[in-house]
Amino acid sequence: MFRQVAQLPLDYDLFKGHDSIFNWSPAGSIIFGNGAVKKVGSEVKRLGGKKVVVCTDEGLVKFGVAQKVIDSLSDAGIQYSIFDKCEANPSVETVEKVTALAKEADMLIGLGGGSSIDPAKAAAVMVTNGGNIRDYEGCDLFPNAPLPVIAIPTAAGTGAEVTCFAVVTDVEKEWKMAIGGSYNIASLAICDPELTASLPPLFTAATGMDALTHAIEGFISRASDPISDAILAKAIKLIAGSLQRATFKGEFDKDARYDMMMGSTMAGMGFINTILGIAHSMAHPLGAMFGVPHGVGNAICLPVTMEFNLYSNPDKIAEIAGLFGKDTSGMDTIQAAKLAVDTVYELLDSLPIPPLSDWNVTPDDIEKLSEEAMKGGDRSTNPRETTVEDFEKLYQKALTLKK
């Protein structure tokens, strides 16, 4: 018999000081380690699954990553079907296709980045609640618990394996919507760093910068709390120490891959309780309107927005310099905070992240992008208030970053 576990409503109270009560909702269970993917079949069986849908993409099928999951399911006698058409920014239509396939299943597996895990989570909501996925944009809006989901990340980036949101692109409206709720956390995350070993440098860098953005924005969020602070600080330190190694010699540096996966997972666990900031507000319309990969958008916007936020949370930003291993002795808080910003700019410059112009983003697009960024839910927890004019200046600066 399974014991009952409290599923608390999502709590994004901005003031989590000593005089307030706050909720901290941890992720589902996690199995972590090299080779952990071999356990998926036995874990599906242990959770009572008999027929599953594996939600993934064509690349992971082509290069044999999906086969590792299939072999484990077959060995455990689990029936399965494969949906391998997930795109970089999963759409409403993709969720509908996964939902149709999953109506006869009792569990879903998301294998990949957020682009595969998020539609699996969204489809799990749809199977048990019906309607249209647009009906559930926001927090805690679906009445019935979703189908169980096992999330298996193949990149150290989104943290989707431990978050309680599914991000889905409404192509018609050029809008990314988030479907959230404490029941929308994967029942189990299987995190196997070896699955990331063959990722190419650009993909490693972009997903890694996505994870770093999660960690930093969660750390400096207005809704931060002591538990998340500790987790996010460790995530920043792990990613700062391993991202360049994973990018440029990731096939050989197992320790870097391990630390990146751990940092990404911890960042997801932390930020889901603090929400994020305006780097995400800027990245989402870049993805929805121009198809800019989410990690690339976050990578370019992170140092720009850190600089914007510097005087609104200098103590926390100053701490980030130390987490990157910088010597801040003899510096005052503002000097250390500026060093942190400069360090992130330098990190971005060292990585193979292409400029926004590669996605045909031009100065003429800034007005529309800024209007869309103002609609982002992450603005409320950003350390500094923002206006449309602020976003226009930030996008202008982001567009000047070139390789």
Q: What is the pLDDT of residue 403?
A: 57
- Smallest Cα–Cα separation from 68: which of 259, 198, 159, 245? 198
Q: What is the DSSP letter of 270?
A: H
- The stretch 321-350 carries a mean pLDDT of 97
Helix (H, G, I), strand (E, B) or coil at 245: helix
The pLDDT of residue 208 is above 90 = yes
Tens digit of pLDDT for each residue in 145-196? 899 999 999 999 989 999 989 989 888 888 888 898 888 899 999 999 999 9
Distance CA(55)–CA(1), nearest Å, equals 29
Are 299 and 392 a contacting pair, CB within 8 Å? no
Residue 10 CB partners (closer than 8 Å, separation 6+): 23, 25, 139, 140, 164, 180, 181, 182
Distance CA 247, CA 245 (A): 5
Percent of the chain with pLDDT over 90: 79
> Which residues, 6+ apart, have CB-to-CB distance to 133 below 8 Å?
92, 95, 96, 122, 125, 126, 168, 179
For residue 397, the SS3 value is helix
Average pLDDT, integer, range 132-152: 92
Cβ 267 vs Cβ 232: under 8 Å: yes
**Please, what is the average pLDDT of the chain?**
92
Residue 219 to residue 232: CA distance in whole angstroms: 6
Number of Cβ within 10 Å of residue 4's Cβ equals 6
- How confident is the model over 100-121, as a mean pLDDT? 93
AA letter at 77: G
Altogether, the residues listed in the chain come to a count of 403
- Going by pLDDT thresholds of 50, 70 and 90, the confidence category of residue 228 is very high
Fold of 198-400: Dehydroquinate synthase-like, alpha domain (1.20.1090)
Considering only residues 183 and 362, tell me which one the structure prediction assigns the higher pLDDT: 362
What CATH number is given for 29-195 in this structure? 3.40.50.1970
pTM over 0.75: yes
Nearest 5°: the CA angle 24, 27, 31 is 145
Residue type, 385: E
CA 114 to chain centre: 6
What's residue 289's pLDDT?
93
φ, ψ at 78 (rounded to 5°): -90, 130
Structure tokens of 300? 């370019």
Question: What type of residue sits at position 361?
Answer: V
The CA distance from 88 to 335, in Å, is 38
Alpha helices in 272-365 (DSSP H): 278-290, 294-309, 314-323, 333-350
Give the separation between CA 303 and CA 168, rounded to whole angstroms: 25
Token pair in block for residue 394? 């930030």
**Helix, strand, or coil (residue 209):** helix
List the domain boundaries for the chain: 29-195, 198-400
| Residue closest to 293 by CA, chosen among 202, 387, 160, 198 | 202
Query: How does pLDDT run across 237-288, given as a tens digit for each residue?
Result: 999 999 999 999 988 899 999 999 999 999 999 998 899 999 999 999 999 8
